[in-house]
Structure 1
Amino acid sequence: MVELDVVRLENPDGRYQVVVGQGNFTVFACDDIFRLLLTTVPGIKCAVGMNEADSRLTRVTGNDETLRDLAGRNASMIGAGHVFVIMIDGAFPINVLGALKAHPAVVSLYLATANPVEVITAKTELGCAVLGVVDGASAIRIESDAERDERRKLCEALGYRLE
């Protein structure tokens, strides 16, 4: 028997950036991923919540109480072993994704966004798994030339040059 569920992550008003991934060696990875974030973006506010399969605990660390609470609650609601949720304030995921992908305990990343997020899970007798994620609303049309120009201006305003 498999029970499918949809878990809507908490992120009040889309205020924070969210990264969801899966890793290994939770007793080490939770704190080490947190240290990685701190050294990748000086001054970042962040927290990591990570589910440990053996002890069936959600381990949490971070430098901001609100982010710690959100990371822990979101990881716990997902429930799947070795899944982690990172909550970020003061940086964008693009600033940390390369470092996260290179971390030896990170197996995969599911998403990085500030959009509303739903995590699709499957529960069996053994436990829970993440099947996939829904990141924001579905696209309904192709951007216009004016919208493309506006997008490029925003990227440049944020410090990302396209040329």
Structure 2
Amino acid sequence: MLYIHRNNCVFDGNDQDLIDLAIKNAKNINCGHSFIIFMKNAFPINVLNAVKSCSEVCRIYCATANPLDVVVAVNSNGNRGIMGVIDGAPTVGVETEKDQENRKKFLQTIGYKR
């Protein structure tokens, strides 16, 4: 996990590649009072409730394995803030019954649904 305080990055982790990736992305975003979590061999949905239960967490913009873009605003004083994220691709159609079955099986496989 990498937390960006007002002036400094504070980080912790157990995988140097993920730490480096978090630091690189945090520097690119360059917004204080935010944090980034990168995980390997895990699904974001499985840790989302634990992250939400942390009293310091005010908002979660996304929990995804998809590539995403972070939308940043800069005010006239040069202060920066995260406005949101763009996650995923445009819709390609409507889910079929087979698609629903596959989605439900996948969610069961990762332990999200029974």
More strand by share: 1
Cα 1:140–1:61 shift into 2, 3 Å:
same
Q: CA RMSD in A?
A: 1.5
Segments of structure 2 that go 5 or more residues without pairing to the other structure are none
Deviation at 1:87, TM superposition (A): 0.5
Secondary structure of 1:90's match?
A: coil
- Whether the 8 Å CA contact 1:123–1:129 is kept in 2: the answer is yes
Partner Cα distance (2:113, 2:98) in 1:
18
Q: Which residue number corresponds to residue 135 of structure 1? A: 87
Q: Which residue number corresponds to residue 28 of structure 2? A: 77
Q: Which residue number corresponds to residue 108 of structure 2? A: 156
Instruction: After superposition, give the CA deviation of every residue in 1:73-105 in whole Å (9 maximum; x if it has no partner).
Output: 111211111111100113222221111111111
| Larger RCO, structures 1/2 (Cα 8 Å, 6+ apart) | 1
Task: Give TM-score scaled by structure 1 length.
Answer: 0.64
Percent of aligned pairs sharing the same letter: 37
Partner Cα distance (1:60, 1:74) in 2:
13
Partner Cα distance (1:123, 1:154) in 2:
40
- Whether the 8 Å CA contact 2:11–2:19 is kept in 1: the answer is yes
Deviation at 1:116, TM superposition (A): 0.7
Q: Which residue number corresponds to residue 3 of structure 2? A: 50
Partner Cα distance (1:161, 1:52) in 2:
36
Partner Cα distance (1:71, 1:96) in 2:
17
Segments of structure 1 that go 5 or more residues without pairing to the other structure are 1-47
Partner Cα distance (1:96, 1:88) in 2:
10
Question: Would you identify which runs of 4 or more consecutive aligned residues in structure 1 move more than 6 Å?
Answer: none
Secondary structure of 2:93's match?
A: coil
Task: Give TM-score scaled by structure 2 length.
Answer: 0.88
Partner Cα distance (1:156, 1:95) in 2:
12
Provide the aligned length of Structure 1 versus Structure 2.
113
Secondary structure of 1:109's match?
A: coil
Secondary structure of 2:39's match?
A: strand
Partner Cα distance (1:122, 1:161) in 2:
37
